[in-house]
């Protein structure tokens, strides 16, 4: 029987994610519905506001071939399976693939409303702690997934580097960011960078922050040591993270081919890898508003019609980014009922 605590006292065994996630899921079941209503209302307003302009610009876009869109949906599903394999390899837990895949879908739904991947991190940590991992060990597992993803992404960019130098795709992908920075001006951008660097440096150098981070750093080092001595787990982690990039590239390629464009997989891979890296700097959930123009510009530079590529990118984002939200909400509720969150 758990020990009772005096009124007003804080339970020292309650972890930091108890209140935001558990209460948010158990007591705020209406929140997803309200968010859905708000998003739907905004979409309706935008559709009415820009309907005429969109129709005029997209009038020449051919109708998509549906079998390619179905292939895009399959690649999206495999993306979540690969992420589930990554979590199982990074944590070392014996968990059913169906369960960890459901966690990835639920984390994706949380990520749609929180920038910088914080929603997914909270879901992952909660799940791993429910499975018996300590908080530093869970943080180390999530960090190792992020590190493996960064390594696989950089390896992909190295592979497609030859395409970048000849096609002008890189310049086209970066052009939206460059034009935005030029519109803001060099002075404000430089000032913002200096402020961010000063804040980060001051935070890291603070003794209390360093004392709080020291256990997590030790746990991360120990976790990396365990992975280094478990080549099977490390291989699965790296390959599954590479698979997540591959399935996203194939999903984007399927929507491009659905509209009749004849762009090679290598060109699509170049556009996706560079575009997602550039858009990752945007302070929005999932890079919304930054990834779409980067991909559209890059695909147009790769030889596609500008309007058609814009339509392909929008369809790709609907299938791979927005459609999983509803299954993610269902997965969140199911994981909560089963005691996994």
Give the CA angle between residues 149, 155, 160 to the nearest 5°: 125
Q: Where do we find the tokens 């922050």?
A: 209
The answer to whether the beta carbons of residues 223 and 92 sit under 8 Å apart is: no
In a domain, 246, yes or no: yes
Residue % of the chain over a pLDDT of 70: 68
Q: Is residue 4 part of a domain?
A: no
In a domain, 285, yes or no: yes
Looking at residue 10, what is its pLDDT? Answer: 45
Q: What is the pLDDT of residue 2?
A: 46
pLDDT tens for 123-152 read 999 999 998 888 888 888 998 999 999 999
**Interval 203-232: pLDDT, tens:** 666 677 677 777 777 777 787 788 778 888
Range of the domain at 131: 20-48+66-337
Mean pLDDT for the stretch of residues 60-67: 80
pLDDT at 46 over 80: no
- Whether 10 is covered by a domain: the verdict is no
CA distance 317 to 314: 5
Domains in the chain: how many in total? 1
Mean pLDDT of 106-122: 80
Locate 95 and state its tokens.
């968990």
Q: What's the pTM? A: 0.74
5 in a structural domain: no
Q: Which of 48-62, 65-79, 172-186 has the highest mean pLDDT?
A: 65-79
């Amino acid at each position: 029987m758990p020990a009772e605590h005096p009124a007003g006292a804080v339970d020292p065994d309650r972890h930091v994610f108890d209140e935001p996630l558990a209460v948010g899921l158990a007591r705020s079941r209406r929140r997803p519905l309200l968010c859905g209503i708000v998003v739907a209302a905004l979409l309706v307003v935008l559709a009415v506001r820009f309907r005429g302009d969109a129709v005029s610009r997209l009038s020449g876009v051919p109708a998509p071939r549906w079998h390619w869109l179905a292939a895009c949906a399959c690649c999206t599903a495999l993306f979540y399976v690969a992420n589930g394999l990554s979590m199982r390899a990074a944590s070392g837990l014996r968990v059913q693939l169906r369960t960890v895949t459901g966690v990835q879908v639920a984390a994706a739904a949380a990520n749609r409303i929180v920038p910088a991947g914080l929603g997914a991190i909270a879901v992952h940590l909660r799940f791993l702690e429910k499975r018996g991992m300590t908080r530093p060990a869970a943080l180390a597992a999530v960090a190792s997934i992020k590190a493996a993803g960064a390594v696989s992404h950089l390896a992909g960019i190295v592979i497609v580097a030859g395409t970048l130098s000849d096609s002008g795709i890189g310049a086209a992908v970066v052009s939206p960011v460059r034009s935005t920075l030029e519109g803001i001006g060099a002075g404000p951008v430089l000032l913002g960078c200096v402020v961010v660097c000063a804040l980060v440096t001051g935070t890291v150098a603070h003794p209390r922050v360093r004392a709080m981070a020291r256990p997590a750093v030790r746990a991360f080092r120990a976790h990396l040591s365990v992975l280094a001595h478990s080549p099977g787990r490390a291989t699965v982690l790296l390959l599954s993270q590479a698979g997540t990039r591959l399935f996203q590239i194939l999903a984007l390629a399927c929507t491009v081919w659905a509209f009749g464009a004849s762009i090679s997989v290598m060109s699509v891979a170049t556009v996706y890898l560079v575009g997602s890296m550039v858009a990752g700097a945007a302070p929005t959930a999932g890079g919304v508003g930054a990834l779409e123009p980067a991909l559209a510009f890059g695909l147009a530079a790769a030889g596609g019609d500008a309007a058609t590529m814009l339509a392909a990118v929008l369809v790709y984002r609907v299938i791979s980014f927005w459609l999983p939200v509803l299954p993610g909400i269902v997965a969140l509720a199911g994981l909560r009922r089963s005691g996994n969150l």
